[in-house]
Amino acid sequence: MRFIDIEETIKKRKSVRTYDGRPLTDADRAKLEEVIGEICSSESPFPGKIKITILDAGSSAETEKLGTYGVIRGANTFLCVTAEKTEGVMEAVGYNFEKLVLAATEMGLGTCWMAGTFNRNSFKNALEIGENEIFPIISPIGYEAEKTSFMGNLLRTFSKAGSRKAFGEVFRNGDFANELTEDEAGEYAFPLEMVRLAPSAVNRQPWRVVMKDGNFHFYKEIMAGGKVSLDLQSLDVAIGACHFHLAAESGGLAGKFVKEKPEVKAPAGMEYMFTWKTE
C-alpha cells in the first residue's frame, strides 16, 4: 500500500471522538472496502488471520447509548476487528489495523482505536464471531465534527493525547543503559520518530527500541498490574512497527521484521518482541 506522504499522514492522525453525524459517502465506503480487501489479503510481516467489518450501527443517538458509553458522539459507522486466536495475532491486529487507520486519515476520515470504552456485547450481536476468534478492537469511522464534545475533550486531557515521551527515553543505543540520539540513529531517525508519534492505549507508549549492530530490536514495557486479558502492549508495539515499516519503506531503507532475540540485557518488565533486520 502506498501513501502519498506518510509523515504528513502520521502527524495528522489523532483520535477523533466527535463526529458530525453524516453517513459515509458511497465513494468513501467503496474506497474503504477496497483498502480493507487489500490489507486482509496481502502478506504482512506479522502472521495472523484478521477480519475487518464495516458495521452500520443505526442512528448516532442509538450508538451513543448502546455502544460506547457516550465516549463517541455522532458516529454511525464502526470498523470492527475480529481475528483468529493464534500465537502473535495481536501483532497482526496492531500492524494491519493501523495501516487502515492511516489510509482513512489520508482520505480525510476520523478514527479512534478502542479496546476499552465500548460495550463488546452490543457489538458482538451484530457480528459473526467464531468459537476460535477474538474481538479486540473497534473504531468509529466518519467525518470529524467542528466542535469536540465535552467527553472528547476530557479524554484528550486525561490521556495527555498530544504528548509523547522523549526520543532518548524510548530508543536506546547498544543496550538499555544508553539513550539513543537522533544523530546516532542516522537515516533511521525518521522511522523511529514515526514510532514515537504512534497512538497507544491510554497513551502509555510501551514501545522501546534498542539499536544494536545496525538492527533495531523492539520490546514492550509490561505495565504494573501485569497482563490483562487483552495484550494491549503487544498491540501498541505493533502499531509502532507499522509506522516504522511505512516510514522505512518511504525512505528506501531495506529490511524485514524477524524474531531473533538479541544478546541484550533487558531490565525487569521489558519483554522482547521482534527485530527490524536491515538488509
Among residues 148 and 159, whose Cβ is nearest to ligand FMN?
159
Residue of the chain from 117, 122, 148, 278 that contacts ligand FMN (CB under 6 A): 117
Of 100, 185, 209, 239, the residue at the interface with ligand FMN (CB under 6 A) is 239
Stretch binding ligand FMN (CB under 6 A), from 100-108, 183-191, 196-204, 244-252 = 196-204
C-alpha cell read off for 271: 519483554
Which residues, 6+ apart, have CB-to-CB distance to 158 below 8 Å? none
Strands, DSSP E only, in the chain? 50-56, 77-84, 110-111, 133-142, 171-173, 207-212, 215-221, 255-258, 270-278
DSSP states of 117-183:
SS-HHHHHTTS---TTEEEEEEEEEEPBPSS--HHHHHHHHHTTTT----HHHHEEESSTTSBPPHH
Closest CB 233 distance from ligand FMN, rounded Å: 9
| 153 part of the interface to ligand FMN, by CB under 6 A | no
Nearest distance from C-beta of residue 111 to ligand FMN, angstroms: 9
The residue (of 44 and 234) whose beta carbon lies closer to ligand FMN is 234
Say which residues have a Cβ less than 8 Å from residue 114's Cβ, sequence separation at least 6: 68, 71, 72, 137, 138, 139, 140
116 binds ligand FMN (CB under 6 A): yes
Under rule CB under 6 A, residue 191 binds ligand FMN = no
Tell which residue, 64, 62, 38, has the closest CA to residue 52.
Answer: 38
Among residues 179, 182, 183, 181, which one has the least CA distance to residue 169?
179
Choice between 211 and 235, CB closer to ligand FMN: 235
- Would you count residue 200 as binding ligand FMN (CB under 6 A)? yes
Q: What is d(CA 113, CA 109) in angstroms, rounded to the nearest whole number?
A: 13
Q: Which stretch binds ligand FMN (CB under 6 A): 34-42, 114-122, 251-259, 261-269?
A: 114-122
Is position 159 an interface residue for ligand FMN (rule: CB under 6 A)? yes
Closest to ligand FMN by CB, 113 vs 219, is 113
In sequence order, the 6+-apart residues with CB closer than 8 A to the CB of 180 are 167, 168, 171, 172, 173, 192, 209, 211
Measured from the CB atom, is 200 or 275 closer to ligand FMN?
A: 200
Q: Which of 80, 180, 232, 238 binds ligand FMN (CB under 6 A)?
A: 232
Q: Which is nearer to ligand FMN, 236 or 255 (CB)?
A: 236
Return residues touching ligand FMN (CB under 6 A). Answer: 14-15, 71, 112-117, 155, 159, 161, 199-203, 232, 235-236, 239
